[in-house]
Structure 1
Amino acid sequence: MKICLVAINFIKHNGEGRVNYEIALKALAQGHNVTLIAHKFAEEIKQHPHATVIQLKSSKLPTTILKNFDFYRQTNAWLKKHGSKFDFIQVSGVSASFPADTYTVHFFHDTWLNSPFHPWQLKRNSYGLYQLIYGKLLARRQKKAYQQAKFLIAVSENLRQELIDYGFEPDKVKVINNGVDCQEFSGQNSTTNERKSLGLPSQVPLALFIGDVKLPRKNLDTVLRALTDVPQLHLAVVGRLRGSNYYPQLAVELGIGDRVQFLGFRQDVAAIMQSADFFVLPSRYDTFGMVVLEAMASGLPVVITQNMGVSSLVTRESGFTLPDTEDIPTLTAAMAELTHNPSLRKQMGAAGKAIAKANSWQVMANQYLELLPPPSPSDQSVVEIV
């Protein structure tokens, strides 16, 4: 079968890029002839004998908005010329606006624009204005593109409901959760010396927060305020501060500066997860939250919110799901319970690992490939290549 996959990138170490990468590898392994359109590709995809790579030129334009629109323009032109040659076309996000078979929806900008926690609603500055303009342009592109799709693939049940509430027919919207690498995030316990080598405190209960701390929707401020009432607990924060001292200064003002380690951007996230006792991310809005599934694969109990798409996978046995993102006492209680109850941490960690195993990248990729139409008599038989 001739398949066309369209995305910004097909690479391993990137959220959406990893989704695209796994779909592509699975399609190639099944023997399909796959044409991929993107800026970046993993080398193993570029070298695959069944892959035809269309590597579009990266724009030298100054902003992300302009670069993405240039990519959008190039993909549309290519698909208009060649799209009729394919049996199946899959587009990631709004990489194009073309009558494709499926579009994967990773983020729905219309919902986020109307959130009280959108940067523009919180602070009317240049950054907020940029996010407002960028969001409105992408929301318009999403509406135009998704109306042309046969099916929309939402990465969570929460996101599916958002699309239905917006006006898309329920039968048109399917759910395929994102996956996780259960080998990379294996959850082996680390030693005290390994904690020290990672810049983490030893012999103390340690919670872990991972996210873009510049985004208010990740809700680090609420975690820091909750931490003030759990005096035995330390917190490691992974994420770029981008030149801002707001959160380190807030930690000092709250009297917890000596219990919070700001680690910045890190490549060794799996190792850091192995060193933590539990994971906390009470996000105000996340269509999925891939890092939560990674924490579960690492054997960590998780503390999240109902506003996260991954909440449909988090059971009572594997973590705490908070109904209110701003409820500091309830967040504090969950953090305190995990701090003082090692047995509960162990039980929840084991339950989370089982859930993660059932949601591996291989499981996700298989679900995408099940959307392919049945082969016509003229198609060659497809045999999976191991």
Structure 2
Amino acid sequence: MIRLANIMAGAPQGGAEAFYERLTLALHRAGEEVLPVIRRDPGRAARLADARPVELRFGGALDILTPMRLNRILGDWRPRVAMAWMNRAAGMTPRGDWTLVGRLGGYYDLKYYRHCDHLVGNTRDLRRWIIAQGWPEARVHFLPNFATDFAGVAPASGVQLLAMGRLHANKGFDTLIRALALVPGAHLSIAGEGPERAALERLAQECGVAERVALLGWREDTGALLAGCDLFLCPSRHEPLGNVVLEAWSAARPVIAAAAQGPSELITDGETGLLVPVDAPEALAGAIRALLAEPGRAAALAAAGRAAFERDFAEATVLAQWRDFLHKVQR
């Protein structure tokens, strides 16, 4: 049996945070001993209630109490593996009588992980990058994410384009809005929240598409949103993985993505989705128009994406890989 302290100091929403919750609960349901240690967050605590999470402050550089409390919690609970997700948790998690694993979902500053025994990246390219920074190959691992399976949700009527993610410049939603101006009649919904909301609203007005853009805020009905769209779009400038691509595949939706790092690794262009250059609204609009005009091609892309999801990114497949890794590295 695995005895894992799973430590996350992330934001209330985000792809890494959502996968942390899915993996924690999946390991718990599988009968493993998992202690979630999280930043104070009533919503996350409620979602993880079955696993009895511990909440800590996880403040900034002046927060000296959280590392002390975390050390005491780990010393009392005595995990065999402690896994720290992203920089803040990694920097505050001490070494001890456990294997310390740093889990990275991006190309982070590795100074936060110097004391870790192993690092896990969620793409092959990220693993290659970590090794290129000087980490021993045997201590760096690739383990994929799994996505919620949204197959079987009833579709809605009407032609819809959908994108999801934090409203941040990295996500490229400004490029998508500019592309929408070149696709007459299409309606775009963006599910997410973040600091770029006001700028995106202004841009939609400037591009003359405000009536065809809906900024939905954070949503919990992801399956229904995916079922109601004709095309799923991932226009990110920087995207280490792209959990949203996996979710769209699970719902058998055709995907068009900008060729950032993660989508370029996930998608076989022309087979499981379409890739277009980053920051190229004309190319993105052309791909959207082409798939809307060729429903048979769109359906073939969707079916191939669903097959890729079932083969590589379904919960049972990925959970087995995670359990095997944790069993091998635990003390």
TM-score using structure 2 length: 0.82
1:268-279 paired onto structure 2 within 5 Å: 268-279=221-232
Q: Separation in 1 of the partners of 2:326 and 2:216?
A: 43
1:178-257 paired onto structure 2 within 5 Å: 178-182=145-149, 185-186=150-151, 188-192=153-157, 203=158, 205-213=159-167, 215-240=168-193, 244-257=197-210
Give, in angstroms, the shift of residue 293 of structure 1. Answer: 0.9
**For 1:181, what is the secondary structure of its paired residue?**
coil
Question: 2:253 aligned to 294, 300, 308, which one?
Answer: 300
1:152-167 paired onto structure 2 within 5 Å: 152-167=119-134
CA shift in 2, pair 1:73/1:283, >3 Å: farther
Question: 1:360 aligned to 290, 293, 314, which one?
Answer: 314
Q: Counterpart of 1:89 in structure 2: which amino acid?
A: A
Q: Separation in 2 of the partners of 1:68 and 1:272?
A: 40
Contact 2:145 2:243 in 1 (8 A): yes
CA shift in 2, pair 1:263/1:375, >3 Å: closer
**For 2:326, what is the secondary structure of its paired residue?**
coil
Residues 1:319 and 2:273 are matched in the alignment: yes
Q: Separation in 2 of the partners of 1:24 and 1:17?
A: 11
Q: Separation in 1 of the partners of 2:329 and 2:72?
A: 28
**For 1:153, what is the secondary structure of its paired residue?**
strand
Contact 2:9 2:85 in 1 (8 A): no
CA shift in 2, pair 1:257/1:105, >3 Å: same
Residues 1:337 and 2:290 are matched in the alignment: yes
| Percentage of identical aligned residues | 22
1:1-386 paired onto structure 2 within 5 Å: 1=1, 3-8=3-8, 15-29=15-29, 31-39=31-39, 40=45, 42-46=48-52, 55-58=54-57, 65=60, 71-79=66-74, 81-82=75-76, 85-94=78-87, 95=89, 96-99=92-95, 100-109=99-108, 139=109, 142-144=110-112, 146-182=113-149, 185-186=150-151, 188-192=153-157, 203=158, 205-213=159-167, 215-240=168-193, 244-315=197-268, 316-322=270-276, 324-358=277-311, 359-373=313-327
**For 1:168, what is the secondary structure of its paired residue?**
coil
CA shift in 2, pair 1:233/1:375, >3 Å: closer
Give, in angstroms, the shift of residue 281 of structure 1. Answer: 1.4
Contact 1:190 1:275 in 2 (8 A): yes
Contact 1:319 1:348 in 2 (8 A): yes
Q: Separation in 1 of the partners of 2:152 and 2:173?
A: 24
CA shift in 2, pair 1:4/1:191, >3 Å: closer
Give, in angstroms, the shift of residue 167 of structure 1. Answer: 3.0
CA shift in 2, pair 1:210/1:28, >3 Å: closer
Q: Separation in 2 of the partners of 1:25 and 1:244?
A: 32
Q: Separation in 2 of the partners of 1:169 and 1:188?
A: 44
Give, in angstroms, the shift of residue 320 of structure 1. Answer: 1.0
Q: Separation in 2 of the partners of 1:335 and 1:65?
A: 43
Per-residue CA distance 1:134-182 (angstroms, 9 max, x = gap): xxxxx4xx524x2222221101123223323433233322111111111
Q: Separation in 2 of the partners of 1:148 and 1:23?
A: 24
> Which one has the largest radius of gyration?
1
Contact 2:146 2:318 in 1 (8 A): yes
Q: Separation in 2 of the partners of 1:4 and 1:256?
A: 49
Q: How many residues align?
A: 316
TM-score using structure 1 length: 0.71
CA shift in 2, pair 1:155/1:333, >3 Å: same
Contact 1:2 1:32 in 2 (8 A): yes
Per-residue CA distance 1:333-384 (angstroms, 9 max, x = gap): 21111121111111111111111222112222211110134699xx9xxxxx
Q: Counterpart of 1:224 in structure 2: which amino acid?
A: I
Q: Separation in 1 of the partners of 2:251 and 2:296?
A: 16
Structure 1 residues not aligned, in runs of 5+: 47-52, 110-138, 193-202, 380-386
Question: RMSD between aligned alpha carbons?
Answer: 3.2
